[in-house]
Structure 1
Amino acid sequence: MSPALGRRTRWVAGSAVALALLFAGAATVASARGDGAPPASRTPSAESADAGFARDMAVHHQQAVEMSFIVRDGTRDEDVRRLAYDIANTQANQRGMLLGWLDLWELPKTAPDGRGPMAWMPGPHSGHDMRGMDGMDHDGALMPGMATRTELGQLREARGKQAEILFLQLMTDHHKAGVDMARGCARECTVPAEKRLAQGMVEAQQSELDLMADMLAARGAPPRP
């Protein structure tokens, strides 16, 4: 790996850790002071974009954490392992914040009856593959960008460079869809703290997308079409 790419990896890694610590600290302070809960009259409904984003992104993040732990067992490459650690750390912290808000709002962590994932986002969903959105069995891919059960199995079996490439390709798809979801919340959500979190996700994951493109190129592999 080139010195420039190594420096870029360390910069993004450090930024991800700092972002995770910032969000974790903010969540702790908000919980202690009660700042995380809006006035009762303005508490989001279960059908709102605020609640929908919190539910869906918590599920989306959970799989990113899972994939990150899988690849750390499949490769000794320090750059990939560091990126995986930072993704897991950041997204686990953010997931805790999202689920915490649902608790504060006294809203369920599953969608209301008849509303599937992403129902809170109006209009077309940025052209991503909407696997799992028509009620059919799509091998466990519940939302855009999510890996299927088969793909997760392939990642568990892969080792070395093969594991690195597959992880980077799967996580690239995952991040692209995550950025679209976060942009949707930045537009549609009404709780200021959640809108700020969503915008922070857009910026952090876009930086990681740029890094992963460089890492794939260094391994002679493109993102998936």
Structure 2
Amino acid sequence: MSSEADLEPAEVTEQPSWSRWVIIGGTLLAVLLIGATAGMFLTRAVDDPGAAAVPGRGSVEVGFAQDMSTHHLQAVTMAGIARDRTTDLEIKQLAFDIERTQLEQVGRMKGWLMLWDQPEQPIGAPMQWMTEPMTGHDGMSMAPSSVNPAGGALMPGMATDTELTKLRSLSGRPFDVYFLQLMLRHHQGGTAMAQYAAARSSVPALKALVNSILTSQGAEMDQIKLMLSVRNAQPLPA
């Protein structure tokens, strides 16, 4: 009869890092596909078959789906950079949550565009569907044309190429803080766009998505503000 001392510990096999990222990548792709399927199903379920027309080019619904998909995908890109680079477990989890949530929402919007027979990208400059001034997160009114200066951000809250280059150049605490600052501003801009669209659309599927965006990004903005405070950092200037 063997004693406890005679028993050898079980061998632990560590999963290779490349395998872990393949699993994560596969999970995020599945989330995107699920979102697209849900988007098409939800649109079919809530739209009246007898309606005069589906949303067409230039409509708030099509413009929102096209531009918010682009807006979300930049957040997914930044989150992917953070997930791979940071050593802060709290930021890794935040980044993964952003990737998962926003990819599912992108899937929904691309599903709509497919059903509406519209391209995934707008023809011409972004935000042409925003014909009236919108209220930003700070309560200030801004016209759509004012948020797309030459060489600047494409849409409210989006990072410029220069800012993304800076993010990729950082590491450690400076990286963590700058990621949080960029993501907070990104969420604030996306929230303003979503509220604008919901106020001018009567499509139930769009209103449902906006509610999902406001819920998830509202919670994340509160979390990011707290994370910045703990790191003795402030949001980027408005």
Do they superpose with TM above 0.5? yes
In 1: Cα distance, 2:227 partner to 2:96 partner: 16
- How far is the alpha carbon of 1:175 from its aligned partner? 0.3
Give the match for residue 218 of structure 1: 230
**Normalising to structure 1: TM-score of the pair?**
0.79
Give the match for residue 196 of structure 1: 208
Give the match for residue 13 of structure 1: none
- How far is the alpha carbon of 1:101 from its aligned partner? 0.5
Determine whether 1:178 maps to 2:190: yes
In 2: Cα distance, 1:102 partner to 1:222 partner: 38
Change (3 A) 1:91 1:133: same
Identity of matched residues, %: 40
In 2: Cα distance, 1:193 partner to 1:165 partner: 35
Give the match for residue 165 of structure 1: 177
Determine whether 1:121 maps to 2:134: no
Give the match for residue 86 of structure 2: 75
Give the match for residue 119 of structure 2: 108
How many residues in Structure 1 have an aligned counterpart in Structure 2?
Answer: 202
In 2: Cα distance, 1:132 partner to 1:109 partner: 22
Contact 2:86 2:92 in 1 (8 A): yes
In 1: Cα distance, 2:142 partner to 2:165 partner: 20
Gapped runs of 5+ residues in structure 1?
1-19
Determine whether 1:156 maps to 2:158: no
Change (3 A) 1:128 1:75: farther
In 1: Cα distance, 2:108 partner to 2:193 partner: 16
Q: Among residues 16, 37, 56, which one is paired with 1:45 in the alignment?
A: 56
Which structure has the greater CA radius of gyration? 2
Determine whether 1:138 maps to 2:151: yes
Contact 1:55 1:110 in 2 (8 A): yes
In 2: Cα distance, 1:88 partner to 1:185 partner: 22
Give the match for residue 35 of structure 1: 44
Q: Among residues 144, 159, 168, which one is paired with 1:147 in the alignment?
A: 159
In 2: Cα distance, 1:87 partner to 1:55 partner: 19
Contact 1:102 1:108 in 2 (8 A): yes
Contact 1:131 1:138 in 2 (8 A): no
Give the match for residue 11 of structure 1: none
Contact 2:46 2:205 in 1 (8 A): no
Q: Give, as a single letter, the amino acid of the residue that structure 2 aligns with 1:216.
A: L
In 2: Cα distance, 1:195 partner to 1:32 partner: 15
Change (3 A) 1:56 1:188: same
Gapped runs of 5+ residues in structure 2?
1-29
In 2: Cα distance, 1:208 partner to 1:182 partner: 16
In 1: Cα distance, 2:42 partner to 2:218 partner: 32
Residues 165-204 of structure 1, C-alpha deviation per residue, up to 9 Å, x if partnerless?
0010000110001111111122112221111101211121
In 2: Cα distance, 1:135 partner to 1:221 partner: 27
Kindly report structure 1 stretches of 4+ aligned residues shifted beyond 4 Å.
23-27, 128-136
Determine whether 1:206 maps to 2:218: yes
Residues 6-47 of structure 1, C-alpha deviation per residue, up to 9 Å, x if partnerless?
xxxxxxxxxxxxxx97x9767535646972683363300111
